[in-house]
Every structure is written in structure tokens, then in C-alpha cells.
Amino acid sequence: MNMHKKDGTQTYHLAKEMIPVYAIAITQERYFEDDRMYYSFSLRDDESYEELKVYFKGIKEKRKLMRMAFLELDKYDPTKIKQYRKVRWIEFFGNKPYTQNPETILETADMIMNRTGWTEEEQTMYDDRTRKLDGYYAHLEYVAEEKELARMEGREEGIEKGRAEGRKEGAIATIIGLIKDGILTIESGAKRLNISESELTVYMR
């Protein structure tokens, strides 16, 4: 929208330029408790549970506006998945030996992933990208640790402050009791608490 937006230009028509949003998470670990290897989520109406589908430019039928899929490689069981189209990609992403001869697209993908065949320029680009990502993730970890440390310090300061206030209130109550019993004067009581007489008088009300 920022690319198309200009002063005085209506941008509501840009909704027609929407395209479907798909996200695929391929994970080595288990995120869901059952043995299903593949999960797919989409947007649905809260009352009717009807799936949200809209028209997109250049597509005749309605399509899902958003879809998110999870593929958990740890749950792979070759005895339960018979379709070669699924098995071939699961084996590729799971870095498992092929149970059938791979098609050309998989051989190409393997060749791309094999760094021994990369040019020096490709190696440099990959290493530079990896360093940037490592630095970024290290920064995120540092920020998270700093926030946690600040939270813990703030909590400890709050506890100590509460204890100090509790001790102060207890001392004031004791001094006021001695004053009311005639053992101390307001002047001597204020000196012991290191506060003014007028402030001590306020506490006694």
C-alpha cells in the first residue's frame, strides 16, 4: 500500500491486489501431542466456523485467505505414508536416505544444498548471511536476558522496599505508643525516627 499510496489517492481498491498467505513450519521436534505428522490451520468464523475464503485477483474461485501448516519430522513413519509425492519431500527435509529414486527436482535441491559444489562467491554470501543471523539471534538472546534481569532486579528492589517500609511503619507505631504512654515526648520521638515533629504529629492522627 505504501508503494501505491499518494496524496489524494484512494487506496481501498488495493484490496483487489491481495494474495493468499501461506506459512509452512518444518520442525524436527514435536509440538503437538498426538502422532499426526501434518497439521494445517486456517481462519474460521467464530460463530459458524465457516472457513474464511475470499476472491483474489486472477483467480476465479475463492481461496483461503490464510493457512499455516506444521510438518513434524520426528513423527515420520514410512509405513503410514504411501504417497511418493509426500514421502520424497519428507525424506529431503528430514535429511533421510531416499527410499525411492529421487526425481530431478530433488536431485537439484540436494545439489544446491551441497556446499562442496558452490562457487567462492556463493560460499562468501552464505557465510556472511550466517554471521548476520548468528549476530541477530545473539542480540535477541541478550535483550531477553537483560529484560529478565531487569525484571528480577525490580522484583528484588520492590521486596526490599516493602521490607524497609514495613520496618519504618513498625518503628513509628512503637514510638507513638511510647509517646501516648507518656514515656517519650514528641520532640524526642521525632529525633529517634529522624523526622520532623510535624510529620510525626501527622502519623499520630
Q: What is the pLDDT of residues 32-85, one digit of tens each?
A: 888 888 888 988 889 998 888 888 777 788 888 888 988 888 887 777 776 767
State which residues form the domain around 188: 137-204
Task: Reply yes or no on whether the pLDDT at 29 is more than 70.
Answer: yes
38-42 vs 66-72, strand pairing mode: antiparallel
| Cα separation, 164 vs 46, whole angstroms | 51
What pLDDT score was predicted for residue 107? 79
| Cα separation, 46 vs 176, whole angstroms | 62
The answer as to whether 115 is a domain residue is no
Q: What angle do CA 96, 102, 108 make, to 5 degrees?
A: 95
Burial (CB count <10 Å: 0-12, 13-18, 19+), residue 175: buried
Question: What's the structural domain count of the chain?
Answer: 2
The answer as to whether 80 is a domain residue is no
The answer as to whether 161 is a domain residue is yes
The answer as to whether 198 is a domain residue is yes
Over residues 108-125, the mean pLDDT reads 80
| One-letter identity of residue 118 | W
The answer as to whether 127 is a domain residue is no
pLDDT above 90 covers a percentage of the chain that reads 1
The answer as to whether 131 is a domain residue is no
Q: Please say which residue of 37, 54, 75 terminates a domain.
A: 75
The answer as to whether 91 is a domain residue is no
pTM metric for this prediction: 0.41
The answer as to whether 96 is a domain residue is no
pLDDT digit string, tens, across residues 150-162: 777 766 666 566 6
Q: How confident is the model at residue 2 (pLDDT cuts 50, 70, 90)?
A: low
Task: Reply yes or no on whether the pLDDT at 25 is more than 80.
Answer: yes
| Cα separation, 77 vs 130, whole angstroms | 32
Residues 100 and 88: beta-carbon distance below 8 Å: yes
Q: Please say which residue of 43, 59, 75 terminates a domain.
A: 75
- Say which DSSP state 102 is in: P
Q: Please say which residue of 24, 53, 75 terminates a domain.
A: 75
